[in-house]
Chain A
Amino acid sequence: KKSDQEQPLDVYANHFQADQGKQTTVLSGSVKLTQGTIQGEADKGTVHQDKNNQIQRVVLEGKPARLQQQLDDGGGMMRASAHTIDYAGESATAVLSGDAVVVQEGRGEFRGERIVYNTASGEVTGGSESGSGRVHLKMLPKPKDPAKAADAETKK
């Protein structure tokens, strides 16, 4: 949701290891991240803070690392997964790379080497400049009537 932007960004993990000099904290052991309806999970995480200790960026890594968010229209969920998810709370952009998959329920899936997902506008951009990897999208057939849309959901 757009309102997630105003929510606090919290991070949980079993172990913390702060490095004051670089202002980074390395998290490990079922790392979690929440901001409003956004929830992230990973095996390992690195939090980057600015000078006054505000969380600037969180980099989650996992096999795969996951991120989900509730969408504004229709209440469907957005689920994303990738080897690394670099989430910048301020600019609300998550850069997924390494088998990146973004699934917008009821509309489609996006796969590729590198996908940039804007958690505020829902904008999705894929493909690396070098053009080495291919990007894949899957568009579900446009349901003729809402009732059918519901069936499409349960079937998946």
Chain B
Amino acid sequence: ATPKADDFRLCKPNALLSFYTPGLPTTGDRNAEAADFTADRFQSKDTSKYVLEGKARIQRLDQLLQAERLTYWTETTAWLAEGDVRYQDRGLLLSATRGEGTTTPSTATLDNVRFQLLGSRGNGSAAQAKLIDADHASMTQVGFTTCDPEATQWEIRADDLSLDQAEGVGRGHNATLRLGDVPILWLPYVRFPIDERRQSGFLYPRVGFNGNSGFDYTQPYYINIAPNYDATLYPRIVTQRGLMLGGEFRYLTDNHRGQIDGSWMPDDRKADRDRGDFHIEHHGVLSPHWNIAANINHVSDDRYFEDFGDSLSTVSTSLLPSSAYLLGHGAHWTASFGGDRYQITDPTLNDIFEPYRRLPRATFEADVGLVGSLRGGVKSEFVSFSKECQKFAPGETGVCPATGERLDLYPYLSLPLEGASWFLRPEVGVRHTRYEVEQDSRVGPSGGPVVAYEHQWSPRRTLPISSVDAGLFFERETQLWGTQYTQTLEPRLYYLNVPYRDQSDIPLFDTQPVSFDYPQLFTTNRFTGADRQMDAKNLTVALTTRLLESNGAERLSASFGQIRYFDDQRVQLPGVNATDFSSSAYVGELDLRISDRWRLKLADHWDPNKDRTDLSAVSVQHRFLGDGVVNLSYRYRRDFLEQTDLSALVPINEVWRLIGRWNYSLRDEKTLEGLFGIEHDSCCVAWRLLARRYVRTAEGKANNALYFELEFKGIGAIGQKTEDFLRRGILGYQ
């Protein structure tokens, strides 16, 4: 959970502000201004010395000095203030027992000081404070904090501290960071931001402990290089493994922005090898029609995420995608040119399951109006698939995976006719797919010498695809639960005709069955990729109804549909059980927003042929008390998974929040993830304690982890928060 940005709404207004006099000018040169003295009584023996007594005040431009007794020497403009001394200027507020200084040049030295910065929350006390000019002050024996003065939950104590409000930085020596009265960090030299500006400096340490790696401490350091460049270093200690250095560099120019980050652990004691990962992300606009987008990832080994991933979603990544594409778009066309690959990051996944590398891969799609409503277009793709063959031991026989190039062209004509209450979209096209395939193999006939053999062939497939998509829109006004709705009824028919072609000689590069879902009722191929094109003589019948509020928002949408097959499905995938029934499963979906606080989602696929449910999923969400939320969901997919998932964020009050999650797998009778977290927020310090138990390894071994995050508001940019700074600082930085 990314911590909230620095907000001090839980803080009381600062007590020192009681004597603050608003409305003083904030700009101007102090040395050129006259000084006003007021008091109950004053006395001046000769014209060079004045003594003011009784609530004496000197006010000049933004400086206001008050004391019981003030003495002023006109020749040297020196002054001495005694008794309940209070000083105020545009940046600082001080109370002291005694003070002296000169008005020209404007200097001041005060003793036994309590101070409050006006530009930010910083306040504290000091034995002595020297005010050098409007923006610079240096103090000795200092205590600095952003908490309420009487409730100092944390404090930086230093022998000396200089506050530079022009640069927004505090610098001190021999400093200790104290939480309550417990010193938790000693630094010979400390430099920290004292206002909201982006500052290089230490970010909040992330402390964790888990059974698999031991104690885990990360101390990020943020480097503000330039308005549109910044970097963060993540030195990290994992006790059972070793030292690791992570780094992140972000850049933004007019047309390009991106991020490069990585981490490196020279010698992981537990896995006794080097570990590390890197990630490059880049988005660039090359011209009005061409962009570039790259997302390159690499990890050192397939257990990297298991050992170093911190959230369940990173730990459970089994295929790490990398891609880089030139993307073109025009009024009527899009194109892409580039490549992609996947790295296996799941130790139990055999190499044969590594997806093919697609390099190069080029696509071109165009759709243009011809005459009247008749439109013509083409969808085309060229891909070169490659994959390493396993190493053969001498005498070992075996077959390498096929590799090769594929060109898939689909020119089509469509006649989309639409009215307010109906639509009719006939489309007819020809799909032509051709390959150049080669496959190496090692063959050794019955004990004879092993012969390397390369088999090449060029399969082709050409078939027409014709479909008609038609639908009507009905409406009526109805009253439900006392509010006015527009209910729609949208029947839809989809007829598809694709003749059968024998595709057994075509290798499987990137084709797999698609999970059956409502949109599947209206697609021309139930396989993804071009290596298989299903044969079809189908008619899909579907009905959707929606309850629309007055502003068009959907209070409820429910859909129901089924495909009726008039022919058997003859194109099948090897290794996937064949489908040979007359109609598909019934697909039903419901998404209901009962009120702004309650939401219900329902999905169900019931297979009439085998009278069983392929999928049923129910999820309920309730929002309450501002950002409180509770989610409960049940998911069942036949032979795949059956789980319940309860998650909640409960704000008890302004200060305390509870986070919880329990994800249980009924099929394996095991808890997949249990999570309990407490968040404490207060005026100037926030901490988070998170206890987690989640399945970490592919073998199902669980892992207990404890995370603790401490945040001192106001003195250090929080790692995630720098995003907000950057976004505020640089318009348009996403």
The listed residue with most B CB atoms (<10 A of its CB), out of A125, A127, A134, A141, is A141
Inter-chain contact A139/B74, CB cutoff 8 Å: yes
- A138→B58 CA distance, assembly (Å): 9
Complex interface: chain B residues within 8 A of A104 (CB)? 47
Contacts of B35 in A (CB 8 A): 138-139, 141
The reply on A51 being an interface residue by CB < 8 A is: no
CA distance in complex: A125, B47 (Å): 11
**Are B36 and A127 closer than 8 Å at their CB atoms?**
no
| Residue numbers in B under 8 Å from A30 (CB-CB) | none
Number of residues of chain A lying within 8 A (CB) of chain B? 24
- Chain B residues lying within 8 Å of A127, measured Cβ to Cβ, are 39-42, 54
Complex interface: stretch among A32-40, A55-63, A80-88, A116-124: A116-124
A-B contact pairs, 11 of them (CB 8 A): A110-B42, A122-B47, A125-B41, A126-B43, A135-B39, A135-B40, A136-B37, A137-B42, A139-B34, A139-B35, A142-B74
Q: How far is the CA of A122 from the CA of B37 in the complex (A)?
A: 19
Interface residues of chain A, those whose CB is within 8 Å of chain B, are: 104, 107-108, 110, 112, 121-129, 131, 134-142
Are A131 and B44 touching (Cβ within 8 A)? no
Cα–Cα, bound, A103→B469 (Å): 97
Contact with A along B29-73 (1 / 0, CB 8 A): 001111111111111111100101010000000000000000010
A137, B31: Cβ atoms closer than 8 Å: no
The answer to the question of B317 belonging to the interface, with a C-beta cut-off of 8 Å to chain A, is no
Q: B579 within 8 Å of A by Cβ?
A: no
In the complex, B77 has a CB within 8 A of chain A: yes
**B residues engaging A (CB < 8 A)?**
31-47, 50, 52, 54, 72, 74, 77, 103-104
Bound CA span A112–B39, Å: 9
Contact A124 B44 (CB under 8 A): yes
Q: Are A141 and B32 neighbours in the complex by a CB distance under 8 Å?
A: yes
Known: A107-B74, A141-B34, A142-B104. A135 touches B41 (CB 8 A): yes
A123 pairs with B45, CB closer than 8 A = yes
A125-B36 CB under 8 A given contacts A139-B74, A141-B31, A141-B104? no
Tell me if B54 and A121 are in contact (CB < 8 A).
no
Say whether A142 contacts B77, CB under 8 Å.
Answer: yes
Q: Write out the residue numbers on chain A whose beta carbons fall within 8 Å of the beta carbon of B50.
A: 137
Whether B37 pairs with A139 at a CB distance below 8 angstroms is yes
Instruction: Report the minimum CB–CB distance from B64 to chain A (whole Å).
Output: 14
Query: What distance in Å separates the Cβ of A140 from its nearest Cβ neighbour in chain B?
Result: 5
Residues of chain A within 8 A of B104, CB atoms compared:
141-142
- Report the bound CA distance from A110 to B36 in whole Å: 10
In the complex, what distance in Å separates the CA atom of A134 from the CA atom of B38? 7
Asked if B36 and A138 sit within 8 Å, CB to CB, the answer is yes
Q: Do A135 and B42 touch (CB < 8 A)?
A: yes
* B34 x A107 contact (CB < 8 A): no
Q: What is the CB-to-nearest-CB distance from B44 to chain A, in angstroms, rounded to a whole number?
A: 5
For A112, what are the chain B residues with a Cβ–Cβ distance below 8 Å? 42
Residues of chain A within 8 A of B32, CB atoms compared: 141
Report the minimal beta-carbon distance from A118 to chain B, rounded to whole angstroms: 10
With a CB–CB cut-off of 8 A, which chain A residues contact B34? 108, 138-141
Q: Which residues of B contact A134 (CB under 8 A)?
A: 38-40
CA distance in complex: A125, B50 (Å): 9
Shortest 4 CB-CB contacts between residues of A and residues of B: A127-B41, A137-B37, A131-B40, A139-B35
Q: Which residues of A contact B44 (CB under 8 A)?
A: 123-125
Q: In the complex the two chains form, what is the Cα distance from A104 to B32 in whole Å?
A: 19
A139–B40 touching, CB < 8 Å? no
**Separation of A138 and B52 alpha carbons in the complex (Å):** 13
CB-CB under 8 A from A107, the residues of chain B are: 47, 74
Question: Whole-angstrom distance from the CB of B30 to the nearest CB of chain A?
Answer: 9
Question: What is the CB-to-nearest-CB distance from A143 to chain B, in angstroms, rounded to a whole number?
Answer: 10
- The minimal Cβ–Cβ distance linking B28 to chain A, given in whole angstroms, is 12
Q: Contacting A125 at CB < 8 Å: which of B37, B40, B43, B54?
A: B43
* Other A-B pairs, 17, CB within 8 Å; known A135-B39, A138-B36: A104-B47, A107-B74, A112-B42, A121-B45, A121-B46, A123-B44, A124-B42, A124-B44, A127-B42, A131-B41, A135-B42, A136-B37, A137-B50, A139-B103, A140-B34, A141-B34, A141-B35
- Among B36, B54, B103, chain A packs the most CB atoms within 10 A around the CB of B36
Bound complex: CA A108 to CA B54 (Å):
21
Min CB–CB distance B641 → chain A (angstroms): 81
**Chain B residues with CB under 8 A of A124:** 42, 44, 47
B74: chain A residues within 8 A (beta carbon): 107-108, 139, 142
B residues in contact with A131, CB < 8 Å? 40-41, 54
Residues of A within 8 A of B72 (CB): 139
Cα A139 to Cα B47 in complex, Å, equals 11
Chain A nearest CB, measured from B341 CB (Å): 74
Residues of chain B within 8 A (CB-CB) of A128 are 41
A138/B37 in contact, CB under 8 A: yes
Identify the closest chain B residue to A109 (Cβ). B34
A122-B47, A131-B54 known; A137+B36 contact, CB < 8 A: yes
Closest A residue by C-beta to B40: A131
What is the distance, in angstroms, from A121's C-beta to the closest C-beta of chain B? Answer: 6
Contacts of B42 in A (CB 8 A): 110, 112, 124-127, 135, 137
- Assembly CA distance A135 to B70 (angstroms): 13
Chain B residue numbers with a CB within 8 Å of A108 are 34, 74
Q: A140 — which chain B residues lie within 8 A by C-beta?
A: 34
- Residues from chain A with Cβ under 8 Å of B46 in the complex: 121-123
